Amino acid sequence: MAKLYFYYASMNAGKSTNLLQADFNYRERGMATMLFTAAIDDRFEAGTIASRIGLAAPATPFGPATDLYGCIDDRHAETPLSCVLVDEAQFLSGGQVDQLARVCDRLGVPVLAYGLRTDFQGVLFEGSARLLALADELTEIKSVCVCGRKATMNLRVDADGAPVARGSQTEIGGNDRYTALCRRHHAEALIQAEG
């Protein structure tokens, strides 16, 4: 039985690097894969999964209206897929996560989804919440806080590096906009931001 996997972590933990390594491993063995990334993520070239260490691969961009099951079913009919890999999975809708579960259950293709668990305020993203509910296997990719403890939270910062406590859930950015912290230091930074 094919499984739905959710690999989650804070910012800068190497999620995209792990995804690209998994994709390489499949392709090195002559197995076909299909990659997806969020269309909203405009930090790199559109339709590209890129890691901070310089690895990159083309991917199909998804948005709120993308029928993932239909896209995967069509590709699978042309070329049997051994795996589907999804970057920025926090931006999936709950319905799209349900579609990915159907890919596993009906098409027999495993799906590896990589993303953030929570936003900068510690609130679950819709896609992540649904993945936490439906995934057959959950794996946390570890990152480190400035204090040396495990970083589990994402702190949004402004252009001057000061913590931000309010704003829309989604604001695309990398090291210039976010820093990974442990729960304690994240909470302290939010209190500081509230002033």
According to DSSP, the residues that pair with 139 across neighbouring strands are 7
User: Is 147 labeled as ligand-binding?
Assistant: yes
Q: Is 88 a catalytic residue?
A: yes
User: Is 14 labeled as ligand-binding?
Assistant: yes
Nearby residues of 45 by Cβ (< 8 Å), 6 or more positions away: none
Contact assessment for residue 142 and residue 9, using Cβ atoms and an 8 Å cutoff = yes
Backbone angles phi, psi at 56, to 5 degrees: -155, 155
3-state secondary structure of 51: coil
User: Is 39 labeled as ligand-binding?
Assistant: no
User: Is 15 labeled as ligand-binding?
Assistant: yes
> Which tokens in the block code for residue 187?
């909470």
Q: Which of 28, 78, 88, 126 is catalytic?
A: 88
User: Is 126 labeled as ligand-binding?
Assistant: no
User: Is 90 labeled as ligand-binding?
Assistant: yes
> Which tokens in the block code for residue 43?
């930090």
User: Is 89 labeled as ligand-binding?
Assistant: yes
Strand duo 111-116 + 4-9: pairing:
parallel
Rounded to the nearest angstrom, the gap between the alpha carbon of residue 121 and the centroid of all alpha carbons in its chain is: 17
User: Is 38 labeled as ligand-binding?
Assistant: no
Q: Which residues are annotated as a binding site for ATP?
A: 9-16, 87-90
Annotated binding site: 9-16, 87-90, 145, 147, 178, 182, 185
State the binding site for Zn(2+): 145, 147, 182, 185
Q: Please give the positions annotated as active site.
A: 88
| Residue set of the binding site for substrate | 178
